[in-house]
Amino acid sequence: MYDQGIDRDFINLGYKFIAGIDEAGRGPLAGPVVAAAVIFLPEIVIDGIDDSKKLSAEEREKLYKVIKEKAISVGIGIISSEVIDNINILEATKEAMSQAVSSLTVTADILIIDGITALSSPIKQSTIKRGDSLSQSIAAASIIAKVTRDRLMLEYDMQYPHYLFGKHKGYGTWEHLDRIKKFGPCEIHRKSFKGVKEHILNLKPQT
């Protein structure tokens, strides 16, 4: 990513505390959705920062540490699979993002959000399609969210070793689907998601 990306445009408009917001884990069949909000001072530029999906796990871990050191505030929101099933993944993602904003220790002048979905917030905001490839603060949020979620999935891997969560992080790989088929879903599976729901129906006794 060159310089700060479109963050510079907002800085030039007079905004100082720009909170970039992104999430990780909308698509998996298991585990929480995690969102992060990151605010840098206007002069901060971090080399190598980019959309978390374009980075290796090792690169993300290194940048995670740098972001935590350089940001003036980092907020995180985590919404469980149970809540996702109750309110749907879109609403859960918005709730995670709202939690992330609420947990910031610095009040943002503006929220810049990856994607096209706005939040219910009194703070001025701008939604930016593919923002994690265009904005330093959104890219930073994507890294914080991804690393946080991956670490949680490694913890779940120890709790539920049959499902290999440490390997696929809950996404619907053939290996993960095969494990659901063999063992049925566990507590952190998203029961409302098609790839899980089908196996739940198959487990019900025929009448």
pLDDT at 2 over 60: no
CA torsion 98→103→107→111, rounded to 10°?
Answer: -30
Q: 163 and 169 in contact (C-beta within 8 Å)? A: no
Q: How confident is the model at residue 206 (pLDDT cuts 50, 70, 90)?
A: very low
**Would you state the pLDDT for residue 198?**
78
Distance CA 23, CA 57 (A): 16
**Would you state the pLDDT for residue 207?**
37
Q: 179 and 164 in contact (C-beta within 8 Å)? A: yes
- CA atoms within a 13 Å half-sphere pointing along the CA-CB vector of 20: 34
Q: How confident is the model at residue 201 (pLDDT cuts 50, 70, 90)?
A: low
pLDDT at 128 over 80: yes
- CA atoms within a 13 Å half-sphere pointing along the CA-CB vector of 165: 26
Q: 7-154: what CATH class?
A: alpha beta
Whole-number Cα distances in Å, 113 to 35, 129, 136: 11, 8, 12
Q: How confident is the model at residue 205 (pLDDT cuts 50, 70, 90)?
A: very low
| Global pTM exceeds 0.85 | yes
Q: Could you tell me which residues come within 8 angstroms of residue 204 by beta carbon, excluding any fewer than 6 positions away?
A: none
Better pLDDT: 207 or 49: 49
Each residue's pLDDT tens digit, 141-189:
999 999 999 999 999 999 999 999 999 999 999 999 999 999 999 999 9
Q: How many C-beta neighbours within 10 Å does residue 183 have?
A: 12
Q: 145 and 67 in contact (C-beta within 8 Å)? A: no
**Would you state the pLDDT for residue 51?**
87
Each residue's pLDDT tens digit, 4-61:
889 999 999 999 999 999 999 999 999 999 999 999 999 999 999 988 989 999 999 9
Run of H or E residues at 96: helix 89-102
